[in-house]
Amino acid sequence: MWPLEGKTNVSAGFGDYRTRHFHGGIDISTGGQEGFPVRAADSGWVLRVSTSYWAFGKVVYLHLTGGRVAVYGHLSELAPKIQKYVEDNQYASERYLQNLLPAPGQISIARGEIIGKTGKTGAGPPHLHFELRTGDNRPLNPLVTAFQKPDKTAPTIRSITVIPRQPDQLGMPLSTIDGRPTAKSYEFSGLPGGRVLATEPVVSGTVMIAVRTDDIIDGPDWIVSAYHCRLWANDSLICDVRHDSIDYRDTRLIELERLYDGKPGFVERPINLYRRPGNQLWNYTNVVNDGRLEAGKTLRPGLNQMRIEVEDAAGNSAFADFRIRLSPGSPSATPELRKGTPPRAAKPPATASIEWLENGVLFSIPESAGEAPPLRAAFLDYGLTRSLQSVPLGSEGTVVWLPAAASLDADSIWIRSGSNSIPLRLSMSVASINDNSVITSSDGSATVQFGPGDLYQPSFFRLTEDKPSPKARKPVSGVYALQPANVPFVRAVRMAINMDGAAAGSRHVALYRYRPQTTGWDFVGSERSDDEQTVSGKIESPGIYALLDYVAPPSIRDVTPAKTDRIRDRQPLIRFTLADDLSGIGSDADIRLTIDGQWTVVEYDPETTQAKAQPRRPLSPGDHRLVISAKDRMGNEAKIQRTLTIVK
């Protein structure tokens, strides 16, 4: 049974991109309003009910007849019998945060019974988050397994990105796209149901494809992820990606399924029609050669006829045809030492621009970099014995490939200019997947530690000094950017920054991540080393980090009823604004409201900074002592006291 009577607009789909996880259900828009009745999908009983200031907010899990589980998130109210059960536990523990598991059948629910009302508790604006799961907690696509949502609009295939897979070993030719060893995007044209490319990409070596596609269910403001994508080469199915269900243990692998760029936000990313290293998602099926397009395996010499097919959950489909031309060879340069009189001494090249690929880096060395004669070869060692593959690009210079799996003897590569060896400083380090690795800033004040299994494959990293906007709060340490942004982590890793000067004596210093879009800072952690010299925290991804010192307490203001109010309501609704300027409120236990010394439930929305509370039982006429207190993550505390006057 559809959970919302009269509300059918799907504003987010199953499997949509979320930062570091798949969207495990569908979102149903409530038009910016709250309070719409939410009905049980089928008969059953309450399996679990949780309350939190974050994530799903107030959420009910129903065990349905037949064994499936329905999930209803961001509720503003719970049905009275569920609310009483939750409230009893909240007052017994004096905690708003609850994660409760009633006994089977303890709270029975009939099909269509109202279990609560829509709201915006937890994250996001007013809407209902609805999930359907198997009995062992595996989310299912409800638009495929439960509902037949009216939808006559086919998905639109926008573009493809062709991505070169460069070699992991030295001495192997580079893969190229239109003569260059870098990814290239191509826009489709034509009718939505049958899109075409006006050009034929020319490739060599091994390449992969990611597709950008839009699917609209209920209006152009809500774009959802494609349900089913297939890649064909010469009438052979190469890769099949379907979003029927996900496993929460694999949810972070969305960063491997999508063309991950490291940027925040919920915007849909292109879907990789190939398996990246570490991608063990079950929804990749019929995968040939890991979805890679390669001579002799999935491509043949000359023209190859390609097709991408996309389908939505309602069965509407679209396709895009294009052709790829496989070049017989690679333009990679071969190192050839020339005999003759050495040229005059050459200056080291200027700092080369760098492009990070998933298994190494490309150095673009401009023609004007100072070498004489022009660059012909590059090497991993001063003795010029371990050659690197390179691609000359005419007047633009040369691109040199360095695989992350290569064994580095020094922090430079060597460019041959005549008989000279000219060093090009790397200023980066390799993080291994099998051993401990430490990335250190050039000034030695910041480190990022990777352990075995923290990455999906070996990767180059660089920890450089950065500068936030002058509008941003000033840090008490150097500001450090971990690059590149587009390398996903298997799990969070530890970053530490040294404390200097006055910051060393403060107990309010913590590690923060900088948000360039808003010039704000997000709390990461405040763990101190045994010698009290560094502050560290676990970071989820590359970004910009620094230490900040903050001693201001949270702000408690706009309390109603006001000081002078005399109220007749014996269970008055108490409202106030609670905001913290930096570290934020880290736990529900750090917000307390008492009336005459008795703890009272506080509902708080960190996004709007609004809080409310209501006495559980009617207050007697007369004066009552109200105390509100709040602590932020760094222990800074605010407290106010008021008198509530109840009149007959």
**What is residue 375's predicted lDDT score, i.e. its pLDDT?**
61
Q: Which residues pair with 510 in a beta bridge?
A: 548
Range scoring the smallest mean pLDDT among 172-186, 364-378, 389-403, 632-646: 364-378
Q: Mean pLDDT, to the nearest integer, of 36-45? A: 97
Task: Give the pLDDT band of residue 117 (cuts 50, 70, 90).
Answer: very high
Query: Per-residue pLDDT for 373 more than 70?
Result: no
Task: Give the pLDDT band of residue 365 (cuts 50, 70, 90).
Answer: confident
CA 508 to chain centroid: 28
> 76 near 59, Cβ under 8 Å?
no
Q: Mean pLDDT, to the nearest integer, of 581-593? A: 96
Task: Give the pLDDT band of residue 414 (cuts 50, 70, 90).
Answer: confident
What is the side-by-side strand order in the sheet with 437-440? 437-440, 446-450, 493-498, 534-539, 527-528
Task: Give the pLDDT band of residue 626 (cuts 50, 70, 90).
Answer: very high
Query: Per-residue pLDDT for 342 more than 70?
Result: no
Q: Which residues pair with 258 in a beta bridge?
A: 271
CA 372 to chain centroid: 46
Q: Which two tokens stand for residue 122?
A: 């937890």
**What is residue 343's predicted lDDT score, i.e. its pLDDT?**
35
Q: Which two tokens stand for residue 383?
A: 């003795």
Structure letter (DSSP) for residue 290? G
Q: Mean pLDDT, to the nearest integer, of 436-446? A: 95
The residue among 635, 631, 628 whose CA lies nearest residue 589 is 631
Instruction: Report which of residues 88 and 428 the model is more confident about.
Output: 88
The predicted model scores a pTM of 0.92
- The residue written with tokens 């397009």 in the block is 293
Mean pLDDT of the chain, nearest integer? 91
Which helix (H) or strand (E) segment is 430 a member of?
Answer: strand 429-431
Q: Mean pLDDT, to the nearest integer, of 431-439? A: 95
Query: Per-residue pLDDT for 344 more than 50?
Result: no
Query: Per-residue pLDDT for 22 more than 70?
Result: yes
Task: Give the pLDDT band of residue 348 (cuts 50, 70, 90).
Answer: low
- Does a cis peptide bond (omega within 30 degrees of 0) precede residue 484? yes
What is the side-by-side strand order in the sheet with 398-403? 353-357, 360-365, 398-403, 390-392
**What is residue 421's predicted lDDT score, i.e. its pLDDT?**
75
